Amino acid sequence: KMPSSIPEADRRHRASAAFSLSFLSLTFSITAFSSSYWCEGTRKVAKPFCKGDTKGDLCIRFNSADGNGSQAVQYIWETGDDKFVEKKFHAGIWYSCEEMINEEGEKCRSFISLTPASDRGVLWLSIVAELLYVVLLLIGNILMSVEICYFSSVIDGLKINAFSAVVTVLAGLLGMVAHMMYTTVFQMTVNLGPEDWRPHTWDYGWSYGLAWTSFACCMAAAVTTINKYTKTILEFKHKRKKLERSFRIQYKFPEY
């Protein structure tokens, strides 16, 4: 049996730190996975023709009031870049949305349908890996919470600790692979995706940063858990040697 002299408060403090990091990682991963702000940017699209009395810079104006006359030659004031307007868009694992011209709201469509057919397999692997990442983080959180609330022997706690460390490390590896696969798929979609979607400028959004922050918290939780396990084992070995030495001196057993 593990000696009771190993500080209980210290063990619980380390277990609580690992649980807090793992819980943060789970929260961040669910938030990022369900959002559509992994990538943000703008699309350059041609302005629509102004209708009726519509005024403003978001539509193309004619020089004639009778703009629909088929016999009249129409002259467009806008030339060059003035013919285009930039629309903001954001995309995630599940769908991509862009703002509408002269209207409120956004138009969304499935990101899977935008992905080139040759890369959809990689995107589905990324989705499966993300789901497994969330599931393993949830299992790790449950194990760590059981360890904190478990009041039996330290040996049983160590068994739970070892299993939660393995699960958390595996979750971190899956999360890293999933994020990298999605990054590859998005870049391929930018180059080979539909003409009516390809962005003019783009960058990674807050969800992408949150996903990698989740990965960092997951690995920090794994390191903390492994450190707790290793330190407890070393303390146990030290205490056992100390007890054996004390026992040998007390009874003066001959050393062979």
* Per-residue pLDDT band at 2 (split at 50, 70, 90): very low
pLDDT above 70 as % of the chain: 69
Give me 51's structure tokens. 């209708």
Region label for 213, one of left (φ > 0), alpha (ψ between -120 and 50) or beta (otherwise): alpha
Give mean pLDDT, residues 222-239: 77
CA dist 87 → 55, 57, 58, 100, 194 (Å): 18, 13, 10, 7, 16
Lowest mean pLDDT segment, chosen from 19-28, 37-46, 197-206: 37-46
Q: What is the pLDDT of residue 201?
A: 87
* Per-residue pLDDT band at 169 (split at 50, 70, 90): very high
Residues 97/89, Cβ–Cβ less than 8 Å = yes
Q: What is the pLDDT of residue 252?
A: 57
Of residues 215 and 254, more confidently modeled: 215
**9-36+116-237 has which fold?**
Butyryl-CoA Dehydrogenase, subunit A; domain 3 (1.20.140)
Name residue 160's amino acid. Answer: I
pTM: 0.76
Q: What is the pLDDT of residue 208?
A: 94
Helix and strand numbers (H, E) in the chain are: 5, 5
Residues 32/207, Cβ–Cβ less than 8 Å = yes
pLDDT at 37 over 80: yes
**CA angle (59 as vertex; 92, 95 as ends), nearest 5:** 10
Q: What is the pLDDT of residue 82?
A: 61
Lowest mean pLDDT segment, chosen from 11-25, 183-197, 223-237, 239-253: 239-253
Q: What is the pLDDT of residue 99?
A: 85
Residues 175/220, Cβ–Cβ less than 8 Å = no
Lowest mean pLDDT segment, chosen from 91-105, 208-222, 242-256: 242-256
